[in-house]
Structure 1
Amino acid sequence: MFTNNDINFEALKRKAYNGRWATLEDGIIPLTAADPDFRTAPEIEQGIIDYLKDGYLSYGPFSGLPEFKKSVSDHFNKEKQGSFSPENVLAVNSAAQGMFLIASYVLHPGDEAIILDPVDFLFKKSVETAGGKVKLCPVDKETGDIDFEKMVSLINSKTRLISICNPHNPLGKVYAKEILIKIAEIASDHDLWVMSDEIWSDIIYDHRGFHTYSSVSEKAKKKSFTVYGFSKSFGIAGLRIGAVLCHDQDILEDFTERSHFNSTIEGVSTLSQIAASVALQKAKPWYREFLAHLQSNRDLVYQLLSRSEVLTPNLPEATFVAFPKINNGMTSDEFAQHVLKEGKVAVVPGSERWFGKGAEGHIRICFSTSKEIVEEGIKRIITSF
């Protein structure tokens, strides 16, 4: 199901944008955007077809279809130690949109938000779009550990929000319950909001446990939002479907109102919600095979890079991206440009643009593809020097 023969490269070259097959010259291997090369689960395809059979594509409830809200809450409660009800779920147009809506809800112009460094660029972008100011809290690039002393020192009268990425992109770190409780205590002591981006929480290796942030303590439930999406675990990025979860119903209702999800101004495609619901209800066997394939690829990337002198690999606990360290003195941008030109492989540089100042000296490699593509891509990177 996840072999090289299962990849439709012609379809990818027509449809896979965002720095992938459809945007690059023939002959270049894209190990860039975190999106699978495999077609989505057959159960999802059939679910979309079945929904269309009666010929109606009407408006759904503004906050989300009942089956969508229930499937998301059930998934969090069974798989992520959650305690959500369907009413705690709001359907949004992707996890990324959820992040932007939360920043806009929490921050006024001039307010400050603490984000991790390095971390995906959308954290910084969402704060700045809301008129807020970013404060960077360092994360150890080898261990993923958060510098809590620095985090507390960043808090002042303008601070409104702490945003975390769990599992962490690009480091692949899964934060334990004890770490999340500590974040909740800091937030509670200073009356801050917390946003936990958990879009990667389905892609976790070695049977490691995961705790959704807002369920680790009573303090974590207060003034917190959780963001979730389906693009990583089920390969439906183009359907633009995600969720915002919040235990406090009054807060979520106010958030829904102020984000314009209480009328036809906003709202999510019913077709996308059906696809997501089917994914969680019927496509778990496909997902489990996908996860096993990804863990095998993770181990393969680590083994191949361990033989290299130009890169030192990390072993991510989660996500399907690796974040190896550059050893030859090149900057991240120089390295990425070199392997693109000489090796015909596209990777994401660990530059400030993509991950913040703390990412320099690394590249990000996506391995959500076939074993053959991974092997060829890593071989080209190593032999291009």
Structure 2
Amino acid sequence: MLAQRTRLFASSGTAAARAAAKAASDAGKEVIDLTAGEIWSDLAPSIREGALAAIERGENRYTDTVGLRELREALAAKVSRETGQVWHTDEIAVTSGAKQALFNAAMVLLDPGDEVIIPSPYWTTFPAQVLIAGGRPVHVDTRASGFVPRPQELERAITPKTRAIVINTPSNPTGAVYDQITLEHIANLAIRHDLWIIFDECYGAFAHAPHVHHPIVSLVPEVRSRTVIINAYSKTLALTGWRIGYMAGPKSVIDAAKALQSHTTSNPNVIAQHAVLEHLQRGDGSYERRLSDQLAQARRLGLDILSRQTLAPLPSAQGGFYFYLDLGSLLDIGPGSATPRSADDAVNALLAEAGVAGVSGSAFGDHMGLRLSYGITHDKLALGLERLVETFESWTKASRNVA
């Protein structure tokens, strides 16, 4: 018999979508995979050279549990530049990707029964990790407010058991970028109610103009003592498989995370650590600019193609690299139609009819949402979205015929 905690969570919905796409491909179907939360790109030269140099030096031994001191120093300098505040090495922990940083935060901040406010739609791992830590996710629906929570609705969700608020900007899956005023309200809310803020900015490098990413501690410095910043190189350097992330926060939190990590994974991959350190020390920003330009072009291409369909409103795609579509119009289709009636049905039909794989919003707490990644090559993106538009329009015509 399995432990009772295994009933609290299932496999990641995004991982399941990737698996479904791969299964269809393995079965011989031509599939355009728009499920993955990663960018199609070569390695940054500095990353490649840093990794090879570390291998040549024989870097194969343990580092400090929370990462090389030199890497934490470089990360502290990076966070200092980005926030306009001074951060120290003992306020940084290097982790095996952002997921471990988030897991560390949940485990060291939450007691059983604590409530954590999570705006919805949400990245599937947020509530799962709260549940694993013994907490209770409390979701605040943002669909009616452009996927950015209204501070008054967050405040209404606060109870004596509330311990933390999770903020993810730019958002996965919606691509929403939180504006300065909203973040200031959230920071002051946390201060008034003595709450932690878990601030996930993994997509912070990809806020599309005129939208701007704001570190919350820059806007309200007083909230720093109750904020844990989560970031990673999975997106900004296209290193999803290398599993390098970090958390920045008060020394007491980092010390507790270090103790926890010493009993879970110990230090992150040593070669990946040296590679990222090399990039931080001598990278000139050109790789990041090229990646941002690549995504900006993909975004423009995708929005142009999606504008040709009438089933779903055109997504704003303010940040990150996802198009998040509202398929609510499917609910208006008559019961006599074979057209999908939910995002789950739509995802299955798109894969079967068009060979296009996306992620159903049900993975993110929204049964009428659809997430499509535009981090893939432009030719595949264009082909996949053109197929999707054609399929959407066939559903629209079919529903009109039934009506």
TM-score (structure 2 length as normaliser): 0.84
User: What residue in structure 2 maps to residue 255 of structure 1?
Assistant: 257
1:182 positional shift: 1.3
1:295 positional shift: 0.7
1:23 positional shift: 5.1
Alignment of 1:215-230 (within 5 A): 215-230=218-233
> Is the Cα–Cα contact under 8 Å of residues 142 and 314 in structure 1 kept in the other structure?
no
Q: Distance in 1 between matches of 2:164 and 2:216?
A: 15
The reply on whether 1:73 has 2:76 as its aligned counterpart is yes
Q: Distance in 1 between matches of 2:264 and 2:251?
A: 21
- The one-letter amino acid paired with 1:368 is G
Structure 2 counterpart SS, 1:382:
helix
Alignment of 1:285-364 (within 5 A): 285-326=286-327, 327-329=329-331, 330-351=341-362, 354-356=363-365, 359-364=366-371
The reply on whether 1:267 has 2:267 as its aligned counterpart is yes
- The one-letter amino acid paired with 1:349 is S
1:42 positional shift: 2.6
Identity %: 24
Specify which structure has the higher proportion of helix. 2
Choose which of 87, 104, 107 in structure 2 pairs with 1:104: 107
Q: Distance in 2 between matches of 1:328 and 1:92?
A: 42
Change (3 A) 1:30 1:82: farther
Structure 2 counterpart SS, 1:90:
strand
Choose which of 190, 193, 196 in structure 2 pairs with 1:193: 196
Larger radius of gyration: 2
Change (3 A) 1:103 1:56: closer
> Is the Cα–Cα contact under 8 Å of residues 62 and 264 in structure 1 kept in the other structure?
no
Change (3 A) 1:83 1:177: farther
User: What residue in structure 1 maps to residue 95 of structure 2?
Assistant: 92
> Is the Cα–Cα contact under 8 Å of residues 163 and 195 in structure 1 kept in the other structure?
yes
Q: Distance in 2 between matches of 1:131 and 1:264?
A: 18
User: What residue in structure 2 maps to residue 145 of structure 1?
Assistant: 148
Q: Distance in 2 between matches of 1:20 and 1:231?
A: 22
Deviations 1:105-160 (A, max 9, x none): 11111111111111111111111111111111121366232122221122112111
Q: Distance in 2 between matches of 1:144 and 1:278?
A: 37
Change (3 A) 1:231 1:82: farther
- The one-letter amino acid paired with 1:333 is D
Could you tell which deviates more after superposition, 155-164 or 321-330? 321-330
Q: Distance in 2 between matches of 1:121 and 1:265?
A: 22
The reply on whether 1:371 has 2:382 as its aligned counterpart is no
> Is the Cα–Cα contact under 8 Å of residues 20 and 30 in structure 1 kept in the other structure?
no
> Is the Cα–Cα contact under 8 Å of residues 21 and 357 in structure 2 kept in the other structure?
no
1:70 positional shift: 2.6
User: What residue in structure 2 maps to residue 8 of structure 1?
Assistant: none
> Is the Cα–Cα contact under 8 Å of residues 95 and 228 in structure 1 kept in the other structure?
yes
Q: Distance in 2 between matches of 1:265 and 1:235?
A: 22
User: What residue in structure 2 maps to residue 9 of structure 1?
Assistant: none
Structure 2 counterpart SS, 1:164:
strand
1:94 positional shift: 0.9
Could you tell which deviates more after superposition, 366-375 or 279-288? 279-288
TM-score (structure 1 length as normaliser): 0.88
Q: Distance in 2 between matches of 1:296 and 1:270?
A: 34
> Is the Cα–Cα contact under 8 Å of residues 94 and 244 in structure 2 kept in the other structure?
yes
> Is the Cα–Cα contact under 8 Å of residues 44 and 283 in structure 1 kept in the other structure?
no
Change (3 A) 1:82 1:137: farther
Structure 2 counterpart SS, 1:252:
helix
The reply on whether 1:36 has 2:36 as its aligned counterpart is no
> Is the Cα–Cα contact under 8 Å of residues 43 and 283 in structure 1 kept in the other structure?
no
Change (3 A) 1:311 1:172: same
Q: Distance in 2 between matches of 1:81 and 1:324?
A: 36
Matched residue count: 362
Structure 1 spans left out of the alignment, 5+ residues: 1-16
- The one-letter amino acid paired with 2:256 is D
CA RMSD of superposed structures (Å): 2.2
Structure 2 counterpart SS, 1:323:
strand
Q: Distance in 1 between matches of 2:64 and 2:107?
A: 23
Q: Distance in 2 between matches of 1:292 and 1:59?
A: 37
- The one-letter amino acid paired with 2:165 is I
> Is the Cα–Cα contact under 8 Å of residues 234 and 279 in structure 1 kept in the other structure?
no
User: What residue in structure 2 maps to residue 55 of structure 1?
Assistant: 58
Q: Distance in 2 between matches of 1:172 and 1:269?
A: 30
Structure 2 spans left out of the alignment, 5+ residues: 1-16, 332-340, 395-403
Q: Distance in 2 between matches of 1:22 and 1:331?
A: 22
Deviations 1:259-311 (A, max 9, x none): 143x7962212112122223444262112111111011111111111111223
Deviations 1:154-206 (A, max 9, x none): 21121111111111112212223332221121111111111011111112222
> Is the Cα–Cα contact under 8 Å of residues 50 and 276 in structure 2 kept in the other structure?
no
